[in-house]
Structure 1
């Protein structure tokens, strides 16, 4: 039996928190995409297909932010059985500086046949821009 959209969203969240790229990518449809409608300069607006998503996540896993926990997680099921909306707070550490990291996320996922076909990640671009700037600071001065 295929997992429900809610169950797949829960699996995606667990893989994201664990920074488990293989599991995360395995939950994406071959032609699925991840996009960030609001993002600072230098962050792609959309990643299409498993390979592009894998390449991006692998590069990110090398040390910008380490996730410690998700808090206040709420999964909203909608009248469309393919669509779930997820709200959560990410707490972690900016790896290059050791500074605390906190980001609030709202994500809209469309899940079909147990795989994510679209993942729209609405994050606060100001937090991400500040994180990128703080991480670049030591690299530029060192």
Structure 2
């Protein structure tokens, strides 16, 4: 859902919308950044240049995503599978994103599995797994002529 408050993050909107939809009525807030705690931990279990392995807090996560949207524009996010566990306090989502690396105009397609821990109807902890080879291939392909 477009929100002027988060307009700078529009290139990641398909991802944000997919996550918000996956969590449905388990969380409160309209946008991805509204459904995370102030002290959230966002952990990625892979190495991508320019993206920290662990991000702590909403403001640092917003700064990290600012770098993301300056480099990748997503056109869609799909293939969502949602697994709710622990009475809805833990949600595992599997999904794909499709976009473009802005510097090279190379297509970017990737698969993810994210484990989300909720606390007081907000995301308190996020652990992310992805197809690292897909990211590497997209990020290291030379600019198209």
TM-score interval, smaller chain = 0.7 to 0.9
Gap regions ≥5 residues in structure 1: 1-11
Give the structure 2 partner of residue 57 of structure 1: 65
SS of residue matched to 1:39: coil
Kindly provide the CA deviation profile for residues 48-86 of structure 1, in whole angstroms up to 9, marking residues without a partner as x. Answer: 001111111112211x21111122111111134210000
Moved more, 107-116 or 41-50: 41-50
Q: Does 1:121 align with 2:117?
A: no
Q: TM-score, normalised by structure 1?
A: 0.73
Q: TM-score, normalised by structure 2?
A: 0.72
Equivalents in 2 of 1:86, 1:15: separation in Å? 10
Gap regions ≥5 residues in structure 2: 1-14, 21-29
1:31 deviation in Å? 1.0
* Contact 1:38–1:124 (8 Å) recurs in 2: no
Give the structure 1 partner of residue 112 of structure 2: 105
After superposition, residues 1-142 of structure 1 pair within 5 angstroms as 13-14=16-17, 23-62=31-70, 64-134=71-141, 137=142
Equivalents in 2 of 1:79, 1:55: separation in Å? 31
Equivalents in 1 of 2:110, 2:98: separation in Å? 7
* Contact 1:28–1:115 (8 Å) recurs in 2: yes
Equivalents in 2 of 1:41, 1:91: separation in Å? 19
Equivalents in 2 of 1:71, 1:121: separation in Å? 16
